[in-house]
Each structure stands twice: as structure tokens, then as C-alpha cells.
Structure 1
Amino acid sequence: MARARIIKNSFITLTPSPLFQLFSISPFTSLFLSPKKSPRSHQRLFTPQNFAIFFLSLLLTFTFLGVSVLNFIQSYQDPPPCSLISPSSQNPLSSNSAMLFASLASSNTYNEDGHEPAGLANSVLVPLPAQLVAGNLSKEEREFWQQPGSEGYKPCLDFSLAYRRKSAKISKEKRKFLVVVASGGLNQQRNQIVDAVVIARILEAALVVPVLQVNLIWGDESEFSDIFNVKHFKRTLQADVRVVSSLPSTHLMSRQSIENQLPYNISPFWIRARFFKQLNEEGVLVLKGLDTKLSKNLPPDLQKLRCKVAFHALRFAAPIQELGNRLARRMWIEGPYIALHLRMEKDVWVRTGCLTGLGLEYDEIIAKIRESQPEYLTGKLNMSHIQRRLAGLCPLTASEIARFLKALGAPSSARIYIAGGEPFGGHQALQPLAAEFPYLVTKEMLAQEGELSPYVNRSSSLAAIDYIVSLNSNVFVPSHGGNMGRVMQGHRAYVGHWKYIKPNKKAMLPFFDSSISDEEFGSIIRKIHSKSQGQPERRTNKRDRDVTAYPVPECMRKHNTGVF
């Protein structure tokens, strides 16, 4: 019997077997050999090297197919595009504004029994439907009440599969805890609470219900639970971050690092590099001075989380929400109204370095306070009050607001809800506005006897009531920038792009001092603000915009109409 021939090379040594010989004359041979070659040539060319190459190619092919299948499965498991699960676009005039949020159904989390614990579509604060404007109105007056339209944009919080996979672990975290102390007024605190949730997510830590620092300016000692609905806050975020009411007893005696010197524009990478190891070792991290420190440009999932906190999780406490709703309905039932956020409090004039428009006596009072407390003056220290005004850094005075609203087409019969604190100068400060628009209303005028009594010296609660009534208005106008204006801008956009007119002070104030006619002045003002009516505006058009003020495109998408 002939001995088997041993084939050797520098890599492998094989003894051909009958199976190998069978393979060598199989149809697979044609992959390597020309059909013109003789069987002897076939055996010579089908060497172990060729077999190894063929086997490696086969392995790579199956690997590629496997990866493709896995990618297909992953894409299949991702939530469907919001356009596939959203109804057709709803006009703000529709009485069923909540339909806007059907697209959020895919973002909800579910219990094992399939029941929805915290439906996002039902958690957002939606304004009352806008009324149809009737009466003998001019073209400009009708256009003033007209809503800008949402252009098909609707809320869409479609978190990625990777985000949702991580949630299973992060939402059950019991070793690491983040404590955040939020300072300032209501809307400044809201912004810090939003970022606190995001930072807890970045650090994969549980979040202790944020601590609200005592407001030294207004003397407000409210706690989180006095202003916000804690149960709703926890339930809405249960799939994103574990929220606890207090530190567990096992961590009360732990070493607690307190960080109150955070730089601006910090990124998720910076946060993890700075605190992740430390938090793992110590178990507790306390952050203070968080306002505006977190970068405005975050990965998409974290931007969506910001929107989820701002527009869904931060619901006001039931007593505040109920009272705010009652006051809003009392305004709404009488017809369309304007909400005007006045920034004419004493501290605003001190901080901005501007003249009050009330005369020399009042300006001297502000100047003395500013001289005794120069640290209150914010930014542009080398500018005069005239330069500040022309640069758009000063709040509009009552007379400027009146002229601005008239130029935009607001009818003199319009009812105006005044949001904000007591203006410096009291009723005298509002006199120029009341002369042109006599139907000025405040929460004190709307409330019945005793309704506001629980909120004496509770500035944050009163600001929350202003927030609710302002959100329900047909038109919102801030007299100056600030947290209230930005939050209201984003919330009104998120619920259907309700009209929001932000005065372009830098562009329009030079015309206030000119001698042009009222008709020409009105035409100029309307042209300046034709693109500033609350229309959808992409945050990504300019970097460093807050997603809670510009929710398009991270938190809102265009949807196909007529899907349902």
C-alpha cells in the first residue's frame, strides 16, 4: 500500500485525507482553479495554503453577515421614527393640543406587566386652546393675535438603544449619590435642576432631590417639595436616573466632597474625568454654583434628557398648579390676552446699570445702592447707561413697552397680564403703559380673597403662578432677557410654537428716538420682528444656545401629516 505523501511548509503540516481529496475535486475547486487545468494540476494547486485562504475568506464572510444581522436587529429594536407614531400636525387653535405629544409614546418606559408608569404624553403642561379672535379689528391687529404655526414640528424624545441599555443599570444605582444645591430665583433654579439630572446621568449616580438655597434677595426659604411635585419628578425620570428624597443612612457619615468652583462650558468628558473616580471612592458628591456651567452642546441623548426634565419632570406642586390653572382660566375665559414679563424690579435696575425712566429721584436711589454694592452690577462695566441702552442691555421701560406693543398691532382693548415682581416705583412705574392699555391685570387682581395667602414671602411660588398664567397666554412678551423668557420661549415652542415676541432692542431703539410718524414707526418695528414671532428656529443654527429654549431639532422633529 502506498504511503501517504507528507506535504510540508513553514506554517502547517498536513497529511491529505480522503475527505481532503474529495474536497479537491468538488465544485469548490473552480473557485481557485481554471477548468482547463488537469486533475493533477488541481491537486498540485489546491495546497494547504489555498485551503487556509479559502477557510479564512469563508470565516470573514460569515462574520460580515453576522454583524449585518446584528445591526439590522438593533435598528429594528430602536423606536420607530416619530413620524410613524405621531398624528397629523395640530394647529394651536385646536382644542386637543395634547395630541401633539402622541409622538412621545415611544420614549415611555414600561413595567413588566406592560403598564405605562409615567406617560410622557400626559406629563407636559399644555396651554388652554387659543380662542378665535372676533370683532372689528384692523389687519395689523388680526396679525398680532395670529399664531406663527409649528411647521410640522412635534416633540420627539427617541432615546438611542445604547442610552436605554445603560438605563437598566443607572436607574438602580445605590452606591453613588449626587447632591446639588440650586440657587437664584425659580427659573434659575429650574435650569440648575435640569443640569443636575444630566450630570447624575453622566456620572451614573443616583440624584438626591435638589436642595434649594435660601434666596437672600427675596428671603424665600422654600424647599423643592414646596414648589415642585416630587413624586412626579421621580416617576418621570425613573428610566433615566434614580432620584431619592435624601441620602441613605449608610452615606450620611461618608466623606462628602463639595465642589463650588466649576468652570464654564464643562463637557461630559470633563465631568467624568474630574469626578467619576472620586465619586466611586467616596460615594457622595456635592455640587454648588451649577448655574450655566454645563455645556450647551451635549450629545443628542443628553439634550433629550434636558427636554424631558424641563418640560415633563418639573411639574409644579399640586396646590400651585391648581391655583395657577384657576387664574389662567379666569384670564382665558374673557378672550385672548397678552402675558408681559416685566423686568422692572429694584434689583434689576441695580444689576443692569440702566436708568429707570422714572425721573432723577428714582435714578439717584438706584445709583446709591449700586455704589454701595458694586458687585451687583453685571457685565460691561466700562459702558455708560446710554451705551448700555443702545446695546440692548437695558430692560424696556413702561413707555417703551407701550409704544412697542402699539407698533406691533396690539389693540388698545387687549388685556395684559403682568408677570414679575413689584416694579420699582409701584403704580407710577406702570402709568405710561396703563395710559395706552388700560386693561392691565396682575395675579393679585385675579385671585380671590385668601387664595394667595399661603404664598406670602414665597417669591418662587408666586413666580410659578406667573409661569402657568403666562404659558396659557396667546402672546408672550418679555421686556428683557433672563431665565423666565428663555424657559417660556422653549416651553411655548415645545407645545406647538405659541406666539413669543422677543424685542430686538438693539435694532429698534434708535427708531424710538427719531421723529418718524407712528405709521412708519409701526411698519419698521413689524418688519424687524417678522421673524421673531415664535416660529420654529433650529438651535444648531447658532452654537451655545440652550436646548430648553430652542428644542428644535434635538427634541422636536418634523412629522408627516395624515399618518393617522
Structure 2
Amino acid sequence: MKSNQRNHGGLGVVAAGVLVLLLPIISPGLFDPLSRSSPSLFSEWNAPKPRYLHLLRSALQRENLTWQQSDFWTPLVDQGWRPCVDSASDPSALPNKSKGYIQVFLDGGLNQQRMGICDAVAVAKILNATLIIPHLEVNPVWQDSSSFTDIFDVDHFIDVLKDDIPIVKELPHEFSWSTREYYGTGIRHTRVKTAPVHASANWYLEKVMPILESYGIAAIAPFSHRLEFDNLPANIQRLRCKVNFKALIFVPHIRALGDALVSQLRSSTRQNEALGTNYLREVTDSKDKQGGGKIVVLHLRFDKDMASHSACDFGGGKSEKLALAKYRQVIWQGRVLNSQYTDEELRNQGRCPLTPEEIGLLLAALGFDSNTRLYLASHKVYGGEARISTLKKLFPLMEDKRSLASAEKMAKIQGKASLLAAVDYYVSIYSDIFISASPGNMHNALVGHRTYLNLKTIRPNMPLLGQLFLNKSMTWPEFLDAVVEGHKKRQGQIRIRKLNQSIYTYPAPDCMCHS
């Protein structure tokens, strides 16, 4: 059931730091997390009550205690790594003649499709082929039909890669029959349906090259995670990095909206109040992204799809458990392995995404106080306002793109999940700190991108937090000490990619050079 959500108008007070969370829009009304009489908003469950009252009461009083500004605001030190995606000595130049055209049809949401685009460029290079601008499928969860050109600057994409592979926006007339509809109506000799997950370069040379040579075109569908991360030539790895970090930029109106949001988040309270709560200042100087108050992005994905797949207990009572179990059975038909474990086992293993209440307590323990401004953006939260009320009580100065931007500015992206996510991604890149409450494609993409830029990224210690939240007798000082100690070495320090790990999450050493 859809939550009852509305825009809220007040901007609140700008403090020394600004905290940005990736979350959906919420209602203006404050729900008292310590109250046990708030009404239910959803028919399938009872409005969840706070699960950690003993911690929450202390966290709400933290400004009355001896408190110092969080050390986590401190930027990362120079770790000796630099972006390294171009190679002047790379002998791989464009071939005299392309072997044919490669089409790919990409599944998933924005960030899964982003990784697929990078892989598609690499596959075209391996096959000495011309890439057609990738087709983005309509995801059944996100229900967004936005095309490549709706999201990414296609001319920039082609220009950056012009010395690596030939790219065309459309097929020539003689191949105009090769469409998504054509491949959905029967078996076609030019379609490759059997590309294994993390296929090798040799697989493409052996299986796809003959189709190119015979027909002049090959369409690969599905195409998601279809190229391995190891045993590839260095120039192919660098090319994937170049696509991800240089060729893929968002369309101008997404960048302009993102710049304006960042600028407004960094600006002073008095200026915002004087201009009006829904005023969105135009940004003309890119340096505005670097000045003013600090920004932290928290990615909090807590929709029904994720909550169900995790098989964890989120405190919504028997009705919620039954609703999530039914949803899980319908969507995944018993393929969720987590469902064989108890909630306690899942939490001890760090498999449960943090709830809004839990991430609020984590942020409070890390030193962020109630004067920290929150920017909320992402897909809708399962449970709506009732679920996020405790987080809002801990951090009352919450914002999102809808509360900051005018209706006119939002019109181009309203109802389009990929464009909404693109704005959040852009703001995240220009934040001082990024933290995610749930692993996933958005988390992985941003962790990698911020590593590439040497920006601070706090990775929640999920097994530790699971164990801490299971301990009902833990005091606030004990919780605080354990959280701070458990996250000292999880702030964006370079982690060298290991075998089978994603190049998009761990860009060193493939995309970076050590000086």
C-alpha cells in the first residue's frame, strides 16, 4: 500500500554541518517516537514503536551532555592514489573497420544500468564492434521508461570515447528491423540470450564474434553483470573506468538541479529564509559546490521490496511479518535464502539493513547532533512517516529535493525513478561524507566513485551493529564507544580490489595509480 506522503515547507536552521540522507519525501507532522498511542497509517500492520527506547532517550538528550563536534567531519588524508583512466601509451586505437554493431538491453535500476553501460563499451572494444547507445529496459520495481538520452549526456558520452570505440545513436537503415519488439516475438539468430554472468573476453570472441561476422549485428539480452572483473587486459579495465568516471555524466538539467540543491544546502539559514522556503537558487559558479556548510549523504533504502527480501524482523508486528512473507513468496517464489535463518542469526551476520531508527542512533553515536540538517531522497520508505518518525525526532531539520526545489524545477523528473536517483547520485558525489544504511547498487556505485575521488565514505559495520542492537541492556555510553571504535577504519580508506570483486566498487588498482 502506498504511504500517505506530503511535502514539508520549513527549511529549519543551518548549523555547522549539513547531513544529507537518500530517502523519500515525508510528511511535516512530527511523530513522537516515545509515544505509544500514535495511530496506524497502514492496514497491513500496526505502526511500529521504537525498538530501542533505552538508547533513544539518551540520544535525544545528547545536546545536554558533554558533546564535541564529530571527528567524522574531518576530510580524508591524501592516500597516495590518483585517478588513472587514460593511458597515452596505450596502443589500442580505433580499428580501420568495425566488425559490426552491438546492441545491449539493460535491466535493473539506474546504477545497475550504469555498470551495464560500462561493460557494454568494454565488450564492444573486445569485439572490435560499433556500439549502439544501450537500450534501458523498464524495471518492474521502479517502473521508469526513461531512455539513455533522458538520463545521460549522450554527446559527451560519444565524444569522450571517440578514440576508444565507435558509437552511434541509431542503427543504419539496413538494420532498422533490429528492435526490442523484434527480439520479443520469437527466436532470432542475431540475439544472444545465453551470455553467462561474468563471462570472459574469450566467451564473447567465441560466441558473439561469429554472429557479428555472419549478420553484421548482435543483440545481447539480457545484459546485466555479463563481463568478468578479472583476467582482462589492462586497457579494457581502464576503458571501463573511463566510461564510469568520465564518459557518463547526467543531462544538463539534472546537473543544474543537483548544483542548486548542493548550493542551497551549503548556504546560510538567513539567506534561505529571506529567499523563501521553496526558492531554488540558480548556480553559475561551480565553486559554490565547495563552500559553506558541510554535507553528509545517507543512503537509506527501506522499501517493501528490500524489507521483504532481507527476511528480517523490523518491529511491525505479526501483520507486517505476514505481509512481507507473502510479498516475498509472490515476488521471489521461495528463492530468498535468508528466510531459513532467524532474525537473531541474520542480525549477528550483518544481513539486516538498518531501519531509520537504527541509522538515526548510529548517526547520533558518531557525533551528529539535532542541529545537523538532513536531506532525504530515495525510493519510498516501507511504513512511511510512522517508520521514519524516530529518525526525524533525532534529526528534526530534515529536507529532501521536493522540499528544497520548486514544483517547476521538479516537473522534469517527477515520477521518474531513474532521474530522481540521478539527482541523489549527483548530490552524493559533492557531499563531504557518504554513508549507506543498506548495501546495494546505489551503495556500491557511490562507494567506488567516492573512492576514486578520495572522498570520505563511512561504511556501517553491519555485524557489529546487529550485535549491539540485540543487546537490550547496553547503555548509551557503551553503545557510543563501541560504534566510534568500530568505525575508525571504515571511513573511506583505500581497499585494493580482490579476486571477483567489482571494479565499480573497488576502483584501485585498476582505475587508479599509486604515486
Please give the secondary structure, in 2, of the residue aligned with 1:280: helix
AA partner of residue 157 (structure 1): V
1:450 aligns with 2:408: yes
Q: 1:271 Cα deviation (Å)? A: 1.7
1:309-358 C-alpha deviation (Å, 9 max, x unpaired): 01111110111111121112111224112211111111111222223333
Q: 1:551 Cα deviation (Å)? A: 1.6
Within 1, Cα distance between the matches of 2:334 and 2:114?
Answer: 22
Of the three residues 78, 91, 95, the one matched with 1:165 is 91
1:338 aligns with 2:296: yes
Of the three residues 344, 351, 354, the one matched with 2:309 is 351
Within 2, Cα distance between the matches of 1:139 and 1:205?
Answer: 60
Partner of 1:318: 252
Partner of 2:224: 291
CA contact (8 A) 2:301 2:438 kept: yes
Of the three residues 536, 543, 546, the one matched with 2:502 is 546
1:180-201 C-alpha deviation (Å, 9 max, x unpaired): 0011111111011111111111
More helix by share: 1
Within 1, Cα distance between the matches of 2:192 and 2:345?
Answer: 37
Larger Rg: 1
Within 2, Cα distance between the matches of 1:173 and 1:439?
Answer: 58
1:145 aligns with 2:73: yes
Partner of 2:242: 308
Within 2, Cα distance between the matches of 1:389 and 1:225?
Answer: 41
AA partner of residue 175 (structure 2): H
Within 1, Cα distance between the matches of 2:163 and 2:71?
Answer: 43
Please give the secondary structure, in 1, of the residue aligned with 2:489: coil
1:405 aligns with 2:329: no
Please give the secondary structure, in 2, of the residue aligned with 1:178: strand
Normalised to the residue count of structure 2, the TM-score between the two structures is: 0.76
Within 1, Cα distance between the matches of 2:203 and 2:339?
Answer: 31
Partner of 1:249: 173
Q: 1:253 Cα deviation (Å)? A: 5.1
Q: Using a 3 Å threshold, how does the CA distance of structure 1 residues 146 and 399 change in structure 2: closer, same or farther?
A: same
Partner of 2:23: none
Of the three residues 461, 484, 502, the one matched with 2:459 is 502
1:15-60 C-alpha deviation (Å, 9 max, x unpaired): xxxxxxxxxxxxxxxxxxxxxxxxxxxxxxxxxxxxxxxxxxxxxx
AA partner of residue 217 (structure 1): V
User: Which residues of 2 match residues 39-78 of structure 1 at below 5 A?
Assistant: none
User: Which residues of 2 match residues 56-455 of structure 1 at below 5 A?
Assistant: 141-159=69-87, 161=89, 164-169=90-95, 173-252=97-176, 257-297=190-230, 298-334=232-268, 335-375=293-333, 378-455=336-413
Greater shift in the superposed pair: 270-279 or 376-385: 376-385
1:226-250 C-alpha deviation (Å, 9 max, x unpaired): 0111100100111111110111123
1:459 aligns with 2:417: yes
Partner of 2:278: none
Q: Using a 3 Å threshold, how does the CA distance of structure 1 residues 379 and 238 change in structure 2: closer, same or farther?
A: farther
Within 1, Cα distance between the matches of 2:65 and 2:422?
Answer: 33
Within 2, Cα distance between the matches of 1:437 and 1:137?
Answer: 17
Within 1, Cα distance between the matches of 2:68 and 2:160?
Answer: 43
Q: 1:527 Cα deviation (Å)? A: 1.8
Partner of 1:55: none
Within 2, Cα distance between the matches of 1:328 and 1:358?
Answer: 35
AA partner of residue 543 (structure 1): L
Q: 1:207 Cα deviation (Å)? A: 0.3
Please give the secondary structure, in 2, of the residue aligned with 1:286: strand
Greater shift in the superposed pair: 407-416 or 444-453: 407-416
AA partner of residue 241 (structure 2): C
Q: 1:285 Cα deviation (Å)? A: 0.8
Within 2, Cα distance between the matches of 1:474 and 1:327?
Answer: 14
Partner of 1:484: 442
Q: 1:387 Cα deviation (Å)? A: 2.5
AA partner of residue 324 (structure 1): G
AA partner of residue 304 (structure 2): K
Q: 1:137 Cα deviation (Å)? A: 12
AA partner of residue 545 (structure 1): Q
CA contact (8 A) 2:310 2:338 kept: no
1:120-151 C-alpha deviation (Å, 9 max, x unpaired): xxxxxxxxxxxxxxxx9978634121122231
Corresponding pairs, count: 418
Partner of 1:65: none
Q: Using a 3 Å threshold, how does the CA distance of structure 1 residues 530 and 548 change in structure 2: closer, same or farther?
A: same
1:406-453 C-alpha deviation (Å, 9 max, x unpaired): 222222321222231110111111111111111221111111132112
Percentage of identical aligned residues: 34
Q: Using a 3 Å threshold, how does the CA distance of structure 1 residues 363 and 140 change in structure 2: closer, same or farther?
A: farther
Please give the secondary structure, in 1, of the residue aligned with 2:327: helix
Q: Using a 3 Å threshold, how does the CA distance of structure 1 residues 400 and 241 change in structure 2: closer, same or farther?
A: same
Partner of 2:469: 512
Please give the secondary structure, in 2, of the residue aligned with 1:215: coil
5+ residue gaps, structure 1:
1-135, 560-564
Within 2, Cα distance between the matches of 1:551 and 1:151?
Answer: 14
Normalised to the residue count of structure 1, the TM-score between the two structures is: 0.70
Greater shift in the superposed pair: 431-440 or 409-418: 409-418
Q: 1:158 Cα deviation (Å)? A: 4.1
Larger relative contact order (CA 8 Å, sep ≥ 6): 2
Within 1, Cα distance between the matches of 2:429 and 2:357?
Answer: 24
Q: Using a 3 Å threshold, how does the CA distance of structure 1 residues 309 and 232 change in structure 2: closer, same or farther?
A: same
Within 2, Cα distance between the matches of 1:386 and 1:477?
Answer: 24
CA contact (8 A) 1:212 1:224 kept: yes
AA partner of residue 383 (structure 2): G
AA partner of residue 281 (structure 1): S
* RMSD value, Cα: 2.3
Q: 1:264 Cα deviation (Å)? A: 2.3
Please give the secondary structure, in 2, of the residue aligned with 1:450: helix
CA contact (8 A) 1:190 1:310 kept: yes
CA contact (8 A) 2:347 2:467 kept: no
Q: 1:396 Cα deviation (Å)? A: 0.4
Q: Using a 3 Å threshold, how does the CA distance of structure 1 residues 155 and 200 change in structure 2: closer, same or farther?
A: same
Greater shift in the superposed pair: 508-517 or 237-246: 508-517
Partner of 2:14: none
Greater shift in the superposed pair: 245-254 or 192-201: 245-254
AA partner of residue 78 (structure 2): S
Please give the secondary structure, in 2, of the residue aligned with 1:530: coil
